[in-house]
Amino acid sequence: MKRTIITGVSALTIAALMPALAQDEADKSNRFTAERVFDIEYASDPQISPDGSTIVYVRRSMDRQTDTDRGDLWTIDTATQAHRPLLVGGSSKSNPRWSPDGSRLLYSTANEGRPDLRVMYMDNGDTFSLGQFYEGPGSAKWSPDGKAVAFTMFVPGETPSFSKPLAAPKGAEWSPPVRVFDDITFRFDGAGYLKEGATHVFTISTEGGSPRQITDGEADFGSPEWLDNGTLLVVGNDAPDRDLDPIESDIYKVSLTDLAMSKITDRDGPDHSPAVSPDGKSIAFLGYDDELKAYQQTNLYMMDANGKNLREVDKDFDRSIGDIKWGADSKTVYALYENSGTHEIGSVTKRGKFKSVAMGIGGTSIGRPYGSGSFSVSKTTTPNFAYTAGFADKPAEVAVQSNDSITVLTDLNADILPFLDMSPIEEIKVASSVDGREIEAWVALPPDFTADGSFPMILEIHGGPFAMYGPLFASEIQRYAAEGYVTVYVNPRGSTGYGEEFAQLIDRAYPGDDFVDLMDVTDSLVARNYVDENRLFVTGGSGGGILTAWIVGKTDRFAAAASIKPVINWMTMAMAADIGQFVRRHWIRADPWSDPDAFLKFSPIMLMDNVVTPTLVMVGEEDWRTPTWEAEQFYTALKMKEVDTALIRVPGSPHYIASRPSRLIAKTDNIMGWFAKYDPAKADDGAKD
C-alpha cells in the first residue's frame, strides 16, 4: 500500500516523489543545488559605532553539524574596510549594541546552554557576563551614561489550580500533573504552550551584579527605552480586559527611584517603539488609531518628554514604518519603511519634512524573497548609515552610506555564488483585470531559459497576507529556477509597500480579488511565451497556502499544487490559533457561533466540491499560527473527494518551516517532487508511475 503521510522530511524523502529531478547532473553541476543552501552566508543587524568608525554586525552561516542558522560577530573599519572576526565559534551571538561612548559592546549569547548577556571591552577584547539570568534576556538598551542596561525577561507566575495533587509514593511512576490554563492565549507559535507568568523590564549595572525588576504584575511590559538615567519608558497594556484586545498597547514612564509608573499615551490603538532624542526633550514612537481592520499602516508620532504636544508626523506619508532612530541633532528621525518590494530609509524632521536618504535595504529573508532588513545611525554631525543591502543575486551584505556615497563593505558569498549559474530576476508589471491597478511581480528564469513556450512555471505566493515580496535573493526561488522552473512571485492587492489603501483592498475580502491579480500575472507569462500553459504549478505558505487552496477551488488550470501551512477554515482558525482573537476581532469582525457565514464564505474548505487539482499539503508539527488541523482538514477533504494528495508533517517545526537549513531543502524539494509527478511533459518518462 502506498504511503501518503510523510513524517520525516530529510532530503532522502525526496526520491520517492521527484523522478524529474534525477536529470543529467552534468547539465546542472553549476546550478544552485540543495547542498548549496548550507554554503549561504549573510549579514544582519549592522551596528555603527557612535563615531562612525567601526561597524559590528552578525555574520550568519548555516552550520552543517547542528543544522542551524548561527551567528558570529565581525567588525568592519569604515575608513580602511578592514574586515575582522570579533567573536566567533562557540554559542551563537546576536544583538550587538555599542555603549554610548563606543568603548564597550553589549551582546546576547549562551553560556553552557543558559542565556547570557555579556559586555566586551573594545580596547582589549575582555568579556564578562553581566549577571545570572534564569530566563533569556532581550531588548537590551544602554543607559545614557553607560552605567546600566535595561532589558526584558520572563518572570514565572503562579500556575492556576483547583486542587492539590496527591504526592506519589517513593519510586512510583505517576502521570505528570494536569496543566491548567485561564488565559485566552495559552500557546504561541515558536513557544508552544505558555508558562504562567509575564515578561517584565529589568535593569542591571554594566559592572555586573543582580538584575533589578522594574515592572511587575500579570501584564507583559517590554521595549525599554531610557528617557534619562533615572527614568525608563516601557510598552504594555495593564487594562483588565487586555486579553480581548490583542493589539492595544501604551507607553508608560517609570521612575527608577520609587518605581512609580504613569501612562503617557492613552488612545485606542497600539503605541510602541519609543525612541528618545539625544537631548532628552522629545519622544518619537510608532502606532495608529485602531479602526478594527485586518491591516492598518504604522505611522510616526512625536511628543514632548512629558507626554504633551502629541502629534502625527507627516500625515501624508503613505507607507508603513518599521523602525526609527534619532539623528545626533535631535531634530531628525530616520525611519525604515516599506516601498514596492524593498525597504528604504527616510529622514523626517519634527515639522514633518520627509526625504528619502537610502534605498535597497533588505536581503535577510533567506528562504523566500520577503522585504526585510535593518539599519543603524552614527552619532556624528554628518550621520553615517550602516544597513543590510539587498540584492537579487546574493543575500544581505553590509553597506555604509555617508553624504549620498554608498559603499558595500562585504562580499560574503564570493567563494560560491559567482561560480554558479544563478537565475536572473526580471521585474514585470501587469494591469489587474479587476480595476486596472498595477500589480508588481518578479520572475526568476532558469539558467538555460529561452522564451519558447516550453518551460514549466511555479507561481509562488507570499504569506501575511499583509507582507511583500521583492527583487531579493531567496534560496527557495533559486532552487525552483535551478531545476528548470520559471518561477514568478507577485505582490497582489493586499500586499504592503504600496500604500494603506492598496493593502486594505482585501479587508474582509480575503481571499478575493487578489486571486484575480495572481491569475492575471500567470496569463501574462503565458502570453509572453515564457511558459507552457499545460505545465503550470502553484504553491505558497501561510497566507500563500490559503490562496493556493482557494485557487484550486476556483480553477483547474494548474497541473498540481502545494498548499503549505494554510488556513482552510476561518472558524477553527479564529477559535484555536495563537492569533485567534485577532482574527475574530480585527479580521472577520464577527463571532463564529453567531455569524458562521462571515467565516465560511472566505474558507477554502467551502470550495471542495470544485477541487480536482492534485494538491500536496505540508505543515509543521508545532505550528500554532496556522495549526496542523488546518492542513489536516484540507488533506482529509481531498482524500474524501478522491483528489490526489499527500500530507507532509515537519517534525519539531513551528510556522516558519525554513528555520533550519535541512527543512528549507526538504520543503522545496518535496514541492518540486510533487510537481514533477504531475508534469505532463514527464508523463512519457513514467513520472506518474
SS3 per-residue string spanning 131-142: CCCCCCCEEEEE
Label residue 307 exposed, middle or buried (CB < 10 Å: 0-12, 13-18, 19+). Answer: middle
pLDDT at residue 6 is higher than 50:
no
* Strand 187-188 with 560-564, pairing: unpaired
One-character DSSP codes across 13-32: GGGGT-GGG-S-GGGGTTS-
What is the tens place of the pLDDT at every residue in 632-649?
999 999 999 999 999 999
Grid cell, residue 177, equals: 500533573
Distance CA 249, CA 83 (A): 41
Closest C-alpha to 135, from 116, 160, 158, 108: 116
Task: Quote the mean pLDDT of the chain.
Answer: 93
Strand order in the sheet with 114-121: 94-98, 104-111, 114-121, 127-129
From the list 245, 261, 145, 146, the residue with the least C-alpha distance to 201 is: 261
309 domain-assigned? no
Q: How confident is the model at residue 22 (pLDDT cuts 50, 70, 90)?
A: very low
- Three-class secondary structure assignment of 96-149: EEECCCCCEEEEEEEECCEEEEEEEECCCCCEEECCCCCCCCEEEEECCCCCEE
User: The cell 522629545 sits on which residue?
Assistant: 282
Q: Tell me what pLDDT residue 382 has.
A: 82
Q: Is residue 258 part of a domain?
A: no
Neighbour-count burial of 600, counting CB atoms closer than 10 A to its CB (0-12 exposed, 13-18 middle, 19+ buried)? middle
The boundaries of the domain holding residue 520 are: 5-30+421-568+603-682
In this structure, is residue 296 part of a structural domain? no
Give CA–CA dist 149/130, Å, rounded.
Answer: 9
What local confidence, expressed as pLDDT, does residue 13 receive? 38
What is the share, in percent, of the chain residues with pLDDT greater than 70?
A: 95
Strands 342-349 and 332-339: antiparallel
Q: Which three cell numbers stand for residue 349?
A: 524632521
Pairing relationship of beta strands 5-6 and 645-650 according to DSSP bridges: parallel
Q: Cell numbers 520517492 correspond to what residue?
A: 16
pLDDT in tens, 43-68: 999 999 999 999 999 999 999 999 99
Extract the C-alpha cell encoding 259: 518605581
Q: What is the pLDDT of residue 314?
A: 83
**What's the CA gap between 188 and 186, in Å, rounded?**
7
Return the closest-CA partner of residue 9 out of 570, 680, 665, 486.
665
What is the pTM for the complete model shown?
A: 0.93
Query: Residue 171: left (phi > 0), alpha (psi -120 to 50), or beta?
Result: left
Strands (E), 418-559: 425-431, 438-444, 457-461, 486-491, 536-541
Residues 580/572, Cβ–Cβ less than 8 Å: no
The pLDDT tens digits of the residues spanning 176-190 come to 989 999 999 999 999
Average pLDDT of the segment spanning 363-391: 93
Would you say 56 and 74 are in contact if contact means Cβ atoms under 8 Å apart? yes
Which tens digits make up the pLDDT trace of 81-125? 999 999 999 999 999 999 999 999 999 999 888 999 999 999 999
Is 445 a member of any domain? yes
Q: How do strand 83-87 and strand 127-129 relate by DSSP bridges? A: unpaired
CATH code at position 436: 3.40.50.1820
**Averaged over 27-32, what is the pLDDT?**
78
Nine cell digits for residue 565: 501551512
Strand order in the sheet with 311-312: 271-276, 282-287, 299-304, 311-312
Rounded CA gap, 303 and 325, in Å? 15
Of 234, 247, 237, 318, whose CA–CA distance to 283 is shortest? Answer: 234
Question: Amino acid identity, residue 420?
Answer: L
Q: How many domains does the chain have?
A: 1
Under a CB-based contact definition with an 8 Å cutoff, are residues 480 and 458 in contact?
yes
How many whole angstroms separate alpha carbon 582 and alpha carbon 598?
15
Assigned domain for 67 exists: no
Copy the grid coordinates of residue 350.
519634527
Q: Please state the separation of Cα 330 from the chain's center in Å.
A: 31
Q: Which of 617, 604, 496 is nearest to 546 (CA)?
A: 604
CA 410 from chain center: how many Å? 24
Q: How confident is the model at residue 3 (pLDDT cuts 50, 70, 90)?
A: very low
* Strand positions, DSSP E, 483-583: 486-491, 536-541, 560-564
Question: What pLDDT does residue 27 have?
Answer: 54
Is 406 a domain residue?
A: no
pLDDT value of position 684: 55
pLDDT at 689 > cutoff 60: no
16, pLDDT greater than 50 = no
Mapped onto helix, strand or coil, the DSSP state of residue 193 is strand
Band (pLDDT 50/70/90 cuts) for residue 161 is confident
Amino acid letter, residue 389: A
Residue 264 has pLDDT above 80, yes or no: yes
CA gap 282, 306 in Å, rounded? 9
State the first-to-last Cα distance of the chain, in angstroms, to the nearest integer.
14
All 3 cell numbers of residue 233?
519608558
Q: What pLDDT digit, counting tens, does each position of 523-572 carry?
A: 999 999 999 999 999 999 999 999 999 999 999 999 999 999 999 999 99
pLDDT at position 25: 46
Half-sphere CA count of 233, side-chain side, radius 13 A: 25
- CA 305/CA 186 separation, integer angstroms: 36
Contact (CB, 8 A) for 133 and 151: no
pLDDT in tens, 558-604: 999 999 999 999 999 999 999 999 999 999 999 999 999 999 999 99
Type of residue found at 206? T
Q: How far is CA 237 from the centre of its chain?
A: 24
Longest CA–CA separation in the chain, Å: 79
pLDDT band at 403 (very low <50, low <70, confident <90, very high): confident
Q: Is the pLDDT of residue 250 over 50?
A: yes
What's the average model confidence in pLDDT over 310-327? Answer: 93
Look-up of cell digits 513551528: 654
602: its cell numbers: 472566505
Q: How far is it, in rounded angstroms, from Cα 367 to Cα 365?
A: 6
58 DSSP β-pair partners: 44, 73
Express each pLDDT in 414-450 by its tens digit: 999 999 999 999 999 999 999 999 999 999 999 999 9
Nearest to 563, CA basis, from 608, 528, 599, 622: 608
Is residue 613, in this structure, part of any structural domain at all? Answer: yes
**Residues 409, 46 contacting (CB under 8 angstroms):** no
Look at residue 400 and tell me if it is in a domain.
no
- The yes-or-no verdict on residue 29 having pLDDT over 80 is no
Find all residues with CB under 8 Å of 226, minimum gap 6, and list them.
141, 142, 143, 144, 150, 232, 233, 276
Phi and psi torsions of 575, nearest 5°: -90, -20
Q: Is the pLDDT of residue 17 over 70?
A: no
Cis previous bond, 465, omega within 30: yes
Helix or strand run (H / E) with residue 43: strand 41-48
